[in-house]
């Protein structure tokens, strides 16, 4: 096989795996948008917050340590224990559920029937608030997140492809794990929404609020549920991203990468979020590989947005979208 093709194949594979992460973040958006018509700008910050909380709990960090120390003149920082990863993840899920409840109780339920733009503004406020809270709770330094996921080049794939083509593919173990976990997560969500009482109620609310009310569904319950699920998805994305490049505030910027994913996939479609994520992941890697060198590189910063713009012009509702997104 010609060398260029092999490179391209490797780049495509890596792109697919990067796309999985985009898809995960976009999925969080779609869930909330479908159920409540809210475009949740805070989804990226939620991923950051979840990852920060996870690290904090694992390391036994005292939340709000800085605030406490300043107020009481103390010098506490750590509880002096380490929490195992699994337990810490469970606790973090708990924190995200509490967060979901607070969002609904203190903000969203007061904004029922407001214009989408008002709801959107509320989530922008929420994003900055949550960023501040995360900062105050856990500090703003970059943190290493190690939940025991395998990292580094996968030797087996390297060896096998080398034997077959005379060129060893570089595939990161972490990317592979992320892909597997994302697939499990999506399968779980599908089973949940198709076969459980709550899933059915969730689909009902996403379809028609009035009808959902009449069959005995509590909208508040569903909204807390859907924000909790979005929080969980954010946690998963936060773990993957955090394990890859450390937990830092740039994590919240992946939300901006999810936007072109949504423009391509449609705001209301779960398959759309996944396929949109993969298209962008592969597209930006291949573009950088093939065209990048000719135009000075760093195309990954803007390629996704240009692609999304092209999609906007050709197919404004996205690949799988139901509604024209100009409503947002």
Partner 1 sequence: MNQMAGNYITEDGRKIGGVIMEMKHITLRFGGVVAIKDISFDIHEGEIRAIIGPNGAGKSSMLNVISGFYHPQEGEVWFHGAKRPPMKPYQVAEQGIARTFQNIALFDGMSVLDNIMTGRLTHMKTGILAQALWKGAAEREEVTNREVVEKIIDFLEIQHIRKTPVGRLPYGLKKRVELARALAAEPKLLLLDEPMAGMNVEEKEDMSRYILDTNDEFGTTIALIEHDMGVVMDLSDRVVVMDYGQKIGDGTPDEVRNNQQVIDAYLGVAHD
Return phi, psi of residue 153, to 5°: -65, 140
Q: How far is residue 228 from each of residues 58, 176, 186, 236, 328, measured CA to CA in Å?
A: 21, 26, 15, 12, 22
Choose among 18, 297, 298, 60: nearest CA to 174: 18
Q: Which is nearer to partner 1, 12 or 198 (CB)?
A: 198
Choose among 147, 142, 132: nearest CA to 92: 147
Q: Where does the chain have alpha helices with state H?
A: 3-36, 43-59, 65-72, 85-102, 116-138, 155-165, 173-195, 197-207, 209-214, 219-245, 254-265, 270-290, 303-314
- CB of residue 203 to partner 1, shortest distance in Å: 7
Q: Which is nearer to partner 1, 81 or 195 (CB)?
A: 195
- CB of residue 304 to partner 1, shortest distance in Å: 29
Tokens encoding 133: 């809270």
Altogether, the residues listed in the chain come to a count of: 328
Q: Which is nearer to partner 1, 191 or 253 (CB)?
A: 191
* Contact residues for partner 1, defined by CB under 8 A: 195-198, 200-201, 203-204, 206-208, 210-219, 322
Q: Which is nearer to partner 1, 229 or 278 (CB)?
A: 229
Q: Which is nearer to partner 1, 90 or 256 (CB)?
A: 90
- CB of residue 327 to partner 1, shortest distance in Å: 17
- 280 within 8 A of 304, measured Cβ to Cβ: yes
Q: Which is nearer to partner 1, 206 or 243 (CB)?
A: 206
- CB of residue 232 to partner 1, shortest distance in Å: 13
- CB of residue 228 to partner 1, shortest distance in Å: 11
- CB of residue 76 to partner 1, shortest distance in Å: 36
């Amino acid at each position: 096989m010609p060398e260029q093709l092999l490179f391209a194949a490797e780049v495509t594979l890596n792109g697919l795996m990067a796309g999985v992460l985009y898809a995960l973040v976009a999925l969080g958006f779609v869930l909330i948008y479908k159920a409540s018509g809210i475009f949740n700008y805070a989804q990226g910050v939620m991923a950051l917050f979840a990852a920060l909380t996870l690290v904090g709990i694992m390391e036994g960090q005292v939340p709000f340590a800085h605030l406490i120390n300043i107020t009481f003149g103390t010098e506490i920082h750590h509880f002096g224990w380490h929490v195992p990863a699994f337990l810490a993840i469970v606790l973090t899920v708990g924190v995200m559920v509490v967060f979901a409840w607070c969002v609904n109780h203190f903000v969203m339920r007061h904004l029922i029937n407001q214009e989408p733009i008002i709801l959107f503004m509320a989530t922008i406020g929420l994003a900055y608030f949550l960023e501040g809270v995360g900062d105050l709770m856990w500090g703003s330094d970059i943190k290493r997140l190690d939940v025991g996921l395998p990292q580094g080049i996968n030797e087996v794939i390297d060896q096998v492809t080398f034997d077959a083509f005379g060129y060893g593919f570089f595939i990161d173990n972490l990317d592979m794990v992320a892909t597997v976990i994302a697939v499990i997560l999506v399968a779980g969500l599908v089973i949940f929404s198709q076969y459980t009482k709550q899933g059915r109620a969730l689909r009902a609310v996403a379809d028609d609020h009035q009808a959902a009310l009449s069959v005995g569904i509590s909208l508040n319950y569903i909204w807390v549920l859907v924000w909790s699920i979005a929080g969980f998805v954010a946690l998963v994305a936060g773990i993957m991203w955090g394990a890859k490049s450390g937990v830092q505030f740039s994590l919240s910027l992946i939300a901006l990468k999810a936007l072109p994913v949504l423009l391509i996939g449609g705001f209301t479609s779960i398959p759309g979020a996944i396929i949109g994520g993969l298209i962008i992941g592969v597209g930006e890697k291949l573009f950088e590989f093939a065209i990048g060198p000719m135009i000075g590189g760093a195309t990954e910063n803007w390629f996704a947005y240009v692609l999304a713009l092209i999609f906007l012009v050709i197919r404004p509702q996205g690949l799988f979208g139901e509604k024209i997104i100009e409503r947002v």
